[in-house]
Amino acid sequence: MKIGAKVQGLERVQSALASLTGGQVQTAMAAAINDAAFAYRRALQSEISSVFDRPTPYVRNSVYVQQATADRLQATIVPTYFGGKGVDPQKILAAQELGGRRVDKRSETALRRVGILPSGYQTAIPATPLPGSDDGRGNIKGSFITQLVSYFQAFGEQGYRANMTAKRKASLQRGTAKQAGRRYFVADGRMRGDAKTKHLAPGIWAVVGDTGADVRPVLMFVRTGNYKPRLSTEAAARRADLDNYLSKRMRYRIRQAAGR
């Protein structure tokens, strides 16, 4: 979304405009454009909160304003990726606005590369998450998914040192005073004819404790998801009433610059 300085109604502040230098006018206009840009940002964040189920701060806070300046009278508001391990929020939100296939997560790509995640499948957190695996918003914790990728030796050539050693796996299985031991295994269900796991839904499972009787789902394998359009940036713009708001802020910023 881009917001520029095309605005109606400045005839109401002609006398104030006449008292300003060109540089002052440009600065006032830039301030008004930024006011409108941040109003749109708030409206878009509200739209995200209303259409998503417990959206993460990562997605909500990705809506970034590239502010206008006196030399560049245009502000840009767009979900922005600042690097790191998460999926580009533009891809996440584009799928929600336009619909279509969900973008693979890096962990899914890693698990598929080593033959754990079947082609045409993605991962989903179970209805009852393994304790300590979720963030409380229906998402798997980054630190936990890293542990899983490491456990299954799924880090690529550049990250192979992060793959879990046999010694670390044994320690994880023994557990600690605060957490029962666990080991992970892959259940293929009926997809690959593994008789030992065909009674379990496809996914990654954990054997918790040392009895072997406590088996819990960790990460399920589900058919590749497709989103229906839900997010509307146009609705956010209507909620912010941008044209009228920009006109009001433009008049206000010009009067402010003129000391009126």
Give the domain ranges of the chain: 2-99+231-257, 104-223
pLDDT, position 150: 93
User: What pLDDT is recorded for position 157?
Assistant: 66
User: What was the pLDDT predicted at 18?
Assistant: 83
Rounded CA-CA distance 1/45 in Å is 13
DSSP element (H, E) containing 64: strand 63-66
According to the model, what pLDDT value does residue 94 have? 61
Per-residue pLDDT of the chain (260 residues; tens, 9 = 90+): 778 766 566 676 778 878 888 889 999 999 999 999 999 888 888 887 877 767 777 777 788 889 999 999 999 887 776 655 566 666 666 655 555 677 788 899 999 999 999 988 999 999 899 998 998 878 889 899 999 999 999 987 665 678 999 999 999 999 888 888 999 999 986 666 566 777 889 999 999 988 888 999 999 999 886 666 666 777 788 888 888 899 889 889 998 998 87
Predicted pLDDT of residue 203? 93
- Non-local (6+) Cβ contacts of 153 within 8 A are 114, 163, 164
pLDDT value at residue 64: 83
Round to whole Å and give the CA distance between 9 and 11. 5
pLDDT at 243: 85
Number of residues that make up the chain: 260
How much is the pLDDT for 205?
95
> Are the C-beta atoms of residues 7 and 244 closer than 8 Å to each other?
no
In 3D space, the residue among 47, 39, 44 whose CA is nearest the CA of residue 230 turns out to be: 47
Confidence at residue 192, expressed as pLDDT on a 0 to 100 scale: 62
In sequence order, which residues have a C-beta less than 8 Å from that of residue 26 and are 6 or more positions away? 70, 71, 73
The answer to whether the CB of 156 falls within 8 A of the CB of 110 is: yes
pLDDT recorded at residue 191: 65
Average pLDDT of the residues of the chain: 83
Check residue 104 and give its pLDDT: 84
Q: Dihedrals φ, ψ of 98, to 5°?
A: -100, -15
